[in-house]
Amino acid sequence: MMGMWNRAAETMSRDELAKVQLEGLRKSLRRVWGNEFYRTRLQAGGVASPEDVQSLADLEKLPFFTKDDFREAYPLKMNCVDRRDLLEFHMSSGSTGTPVVMAYTKNDLLQWAECMARCLTMAGLEKGDAFQIMPTFGLFNGGFGCYHGCRKAGLFCVPASSGNTERQIRLMKDFKVKGFCSVVSYVPRIIEKLDALPEGERDLPSLKVGIFGSETFSDETRRRIESRLGIECFDIYGMTETGGIGTTGQDCRCHAGLHVFEDQYITEVIDPVTGKVLPDGEYGELVFTSLTREAMPILRYRTHDICRILTRETCACGRTSLRIDRITGRTDDMLIVKGVNFYPRQVEQALMEIPGVKDEFQIILEERHGITDVTVNVEAEPGVTGHTVAKHLKERLGFLPKGEVFPVGALPRNEGKAKRVIKRRLD
């Protein structure tokens, strides 16, 4: 068995997990029943009392909660504890609309740290290893989530925050950083800066682990990063509503799906149209129910993330938790062009298959009089043509977009999440 942070919790039998989940579900339901916002929503969904749930099968009796509920409850209408027991809060990184707030009690912060410590250990990091935190420290949960986990796991924390790529590289070299966390679209910036350095200074020999969250990425992107930096990549999962980065899981060193912490969350996959629970193996929308959160538990929370449950069998790493596939996309970022449905990740996957194409790309959607034209801008080495790009995308996606090729460094850069899709109305 590979190293684990909490072996007892991570190797529970299916029967033990079922017992823990039922107990946690009923406890969460009793907790939220004392909050008027939750209680009103549950009653409107047909739940007469917390005692309506007597088994895990009864979970389907509960109504779904969505991001709109969090927005309606802004700032703290979903808080289920005494206001004096709240120690911290974070909110969604979105720049439009009412933000989503997640508040934390002392135990909620400990739960978050526990989940993150499991993720960091899952990636092969051990006590004393230097870990560089590149997500922002602030209202967004990424930086503080990594920090709480670092402290819990006993790692040497390098709290770099976001931006200033030259400094990021210097810190990784000077402090012999073994692992780091960032959005995956920031890694090409690091590689570009490394490649511009003098011969002999372009590598990070101490770096072994990259943990990436908040964005989907293709297997080809993973391979490119691993090859250039000499690291092993991990896909971490979690969101503001579940409690932050890492709360719902990560892939282990077997890279055979993302482990969900089933002693902390119940996982469902539903048909996004009908709401019906789908069998394991079928793609649908992920739904989470928290079992241990105190301030703002989630009940059947619709994530909008498209995924599937891969297996409930024990992993080769020894962990017994179910594993989900990597996120394919979101129900709200699916693009429909000329009758074809696709996700930005599928475009990325197709582009990375073309020799000479680099990591940076944009999908430009231009709508005129109800008709949408698509242009895919990519950076590539000399010799790659727009025709080559368009033809390959046609083969992979089923429609013919325009392909525009730019020299390396020509497309705009972002220090945070990459802006892959740009929509324009021309009428």
DSSP symbols for 146-203 = HHHHHHHHT-EEE---S--HHHHHHHHHHTT--EEEE-GGGHHHHHHHHHTSPTTSS-
Q: Phi and psi of 107, rounded to 5°?
A: -70, -35
In which residue are the tokens 């989530």 written?
145
Q: What is the pLDDT of residue 116?
A: 98
Q: What is the pLDDT of residue 93?
A: 56
Q: What is the pLDDT of residue 363?
A: 87
Task: Determine how β-strand 130-133 pairs with β-strand 101-104.
Answer: unpaired
Q: What is the pLDDT of residue 332?
A: 67
The 3-state secondary structure of 5-29 reads: CCHHHHCCCHHHHHHHHHHHHHHHH
- Same domain (yes/no): 240, 348: no
Residue ending a domain, among 313, 331, 349, is 331
Degrees to nearest 5, angle at CA 306 with 188 and 183: 20
- Same domain (yes/no): 75, 114: yes
d(CA 246, CA 149): 9
- Same domain (yes/no): 326, 340: no
Q: What is the pLDDT of residue 416?
A: 63
d(CA 47, CA 33): 10
Closest to 114 in 3D by CA, of 155, 156, 158, 148: 148
Claim: this prediction has a pTM higher than 0.85: no
- Same domain (yes/no): 297, 354: no
Q: What is the pLDDT of residue 210?
A: 97
Burial per residue of 275-308, b for 16 or more beta-carbon CB atoms within 10 angstroms, e otherwise: eeebeeeeebbbbbbbbbbbbbbbbbbbbbbbbb
Residue ending a domain, among 301, 316, 331, is 331
- Same domain (yes/no): 40, 117: yes
Q: What is the pLDDT of residue 369?
A: 56
Degrees to nearest 5, angle at CA 174 with 250 and 123: 15
- 268 alpha-carbon distance from chain centroid: 17
Q: Phi and psi of 74, rounded to 5°?
A: -55, 135
H/E element, 113: helix 106-122
- Same domain (yes/no): 81, 147: yes
d(CA 279, CA 214): 26
- DSSP secondary-structure letter at 415? S
- Same domain (yes/no): 280, 343: no
Residues 2 and 253: beta-carbon distance below 8 Å:
yes
d(CA 314, CA 321): 7
- Same domain (yes/no): 161, 304: yes
Closest to 148 in 3D by CA, of 182, 108, 179, 175: 108
State the total domains in the chain. 2
Q: Which two tokens stand for residue 359?
A: 């990591």
Q: What is the pLDDT of residue 299?
A: 98
Asked if residue 205 has a cis previous peptide bond (ω within 30° of 0), the answer is no
DSSP symbols for 153-168 = HT-EEE---S--HHHH
Residues 376 and 369: beta-carbon distance below 8 Å:
no
Q: pLDDT by residue for the chain (427 residues), tens digit each?
A: 568 999 999 999 999 999 999 999 999 999 999 999 999 999 999 999 999 999 999 999 999 999 999 999 999 999 999 999 999 999 985 555 788 999 999 999 999 999 999 999 999 999 999 999 999 999 989 999 999 999 999 999 999 998 899 999 999 999 999 999 998 888 988 999 999 999 989 999 999 999 998 777 778 888 989 999 999 999 999 999 999 999 999 999 999 999 999 999 999 999 998 999 999 999 999 999 999 999 999 999 999 999 999 999 999 999 999 999 998 877 767 676 766 667 777 788 788 889 998 888 888 888 775 667 888 899 988 988 888 888 888 888 777 788 889 998 888 876 666 778 888 877 6
- Same domain (yes/no): 264, 395: no
Residues 142 and 135: beta-carbon distance below 8 Å:
yes
- Domain assignment of residue 352, given as a range: 335-425
- Same domain (yes/no): 405, 282: no
CATH code assigned at 14: 3.40.50.12780
- Same domain (yes/no): 68, 197: yes
Sign of CA dihedral 211, 217, 220, 225: negative
- Same domain (yes/no): 274, 379: no
Residues 70 and 78: beta-carbon distance below 8 Å:
yes
Residue ending a domain, among 331, 354, 386, is 331
Q: What is the pLDDT of residue 74?
A: 94
d(CA 161, CA 164): 9
